[in-house]
Amino acid sequence: MNKTIMKNPATNEILGECDTNSVDDLKQMISNARKTQIEWQKMSVRERTKKVLNIRKYLVNNSEKIAEIISKDNGKTKIDALATEVLPAAMAISYYCKNAEYFLRDEFLSAGNIFLLNKRSKIVRVPFGVVGIISPWNYPFAIPFSEVIMALLAGNAVILKVASETQLVGQEIKNAVESANLPDGIFNYINLPGKIAGNALLENGIDKLFFTGSVAVGKYLMKKASETLTPLVLELGGNDPMIVCEDADPYRAAMGAIWAGFQNAGQSCGGVERIYVHEKIYDLFMSILKSKIEKLKIGYGENYNNDIGCMTTKNQVDTVKIHIEDALNKGALLFAQSSQVEKGEQFLPAMVFTNVNHDMLLMKDETFGPVVGVMKFSNYEEAINLANDSYLGLTASVWTKSKKRGEKIARQLKAGAVTINDHLMSHGLAETPWGGFKQSGIGRTHGKLGFDEMTQPQVIVHDILPFVKKDLWWHPFNKNLYMGLKGLLDLLYSYSITLKIKGIKSLIKILPRIFREE
């Protein structure tokens, strides 16, 4: 069996190796999962919740170990790992276990018409069966963890494939889930290269696929899924704008820009990449931003004072450098950058560029690195148009002391999540749905909407008058039936009193037929 070598991207240290699975392994996993899922689905939601909740014990008892593994495997700081991955995962499992029964309860529907009151309907939630989850390397623990928990609670079996670059974290998710002693085959961990895994999952009968990654791969998977009409949820990244209004707190806005723009070395699909600042606050905001950026410490290791870690992959470093070179060639100016940067090819300084425009890759594509561009605006229509000038629409933010202004601008932004006076944190709120507009994806994860994605709605209709011989519109047909049904239509919706009265008479003539055998 082939091996996957796991390396620390900051130090190039070999962390270990793990088996690389085959497509045949995946086929067997899906087959076993399908058998186990049938019994798992039959359990009550309360029983499933009780079992799944045991996973939280593992997270709490091993939080420091998990944070260290994430840091070594991904290159982010341990504080980042704890604050943005381990803690949100624990919060998420608590939230979903608490609300699973509510999310999965039968929903009784009000009758749509008084003449059909005997038809009582309800919606029940049915698990898909075997759910595939393909997750990325930037938040290798938190992103797949919530989806795994929701899928299991909803009654599905899970096949999890994490990024090849973060297999050590994937193994730790496996340890956490398996600590709960769930039924054999209900959770499965597969290590396959990305494209092979995507094809194999869709070709071997999974019932739904959840994918987080690039737009290009998302489009490929959507095309592939169309061959079998396999439903999927795609979260495909962003190029997120931040609008700083004239009445914003400049200090909070600048600190928020640093957090959302440079946390995780800028490798956040919902992070700030474009900043638009009102001309009246521009100079003060930029002065604060510059002073704080220059003090950031870029490094790795046991030093808890490091603010930002390294880039996770060499390919992403190359992409960032291409965007920077393109911007400089088109007239951008380097306004500020961090001065303390650890040596190593995957460590980049935090950088702020001005004199940018939307012809630059930096402003029109997802850079996914520790780089932001800043533009000045004079009116809010201009700011909104700039913010919406992107083929992506994952998240956005508005910074203002006016709740009314913030809400008004937020409602005009084409993004799946908009925060006011904050950014890059709604993913950590288990109750809020996560997903974007435009090419940022399809469907939602997190919250009730995300939980709903784990099930199919099935409507069940009861007729509460089983002693009636037939419905009004059943066979045999005749002219009286036609006139009676036309009378019902007039009675319900005609504006003419005369027609309503005629309708009642025609309807009364045919009502006895529902009690007769003929």
Catalytic choice (97, 245, 269, 310): 269
Question: Which residue in 372, 377, 421 sits closest to 396, CA to CA?
Answer: 421
Question: Which residue in 159, 123, 149, 141 sits closest to 68, CA to CA?
Answer: 141
Catalytic choice (85, 165, 172, 235): 235
Chain centroid to CA 282: 33
Q: What are phi and psi of 457, to 5 degrees?
A: -80, 130
DSSP 304-365: TT--B---S-HHHHHHHHHHHHHHHHTT-EEEEE-SEE-SSTT----EEEES--TTSHHHHS
Question: Which residue in 249, 221, 253, 248 sits closest to 234, CA to CA?
Answer: 221
* C-alpha distances in Å from residue 215, one per residue of 225, 365, 414: 15, 11, 17
Report the alpha-carbon distance of residue 355 to residue 282 in Å, rounded: 13
**Active site annotation includes 294:** no
**Active site annotation includes 302:** no
Task: Look at the block and give the residue holding tokens 């190039």.
Answer: 12
The set of residues, in sequence order, having a beta carbon less than 8 Å from that of 289 and lying 6+ positions away, is 254, 257, 258, 336, 352, 374
The DSSP code for 428 is G
Report the alpha-carbon distance of residue 445 to residue 427 in Å, rounded: 9
Question: Which residue in 211, 200, 193 sits closest to 4, CA to CA?
Answer: 193
DSSP 29-49: HHHHHHHHHHHHHHS-HHHHH
DSSP 104-123: HS-EEEPPS-GGGTTEEEEE
The set of residues, in sequence order, having a beta carbon less than 8 Å from that of 301 and lying 6+ positions away, is 10
CB atoms within 10 A of CB 42: 9
Report the alpha-carbon distance of residue 471 to residue 467 in Å, rounded: 11
Q: Which residues are catalytic?
A: 235, 269
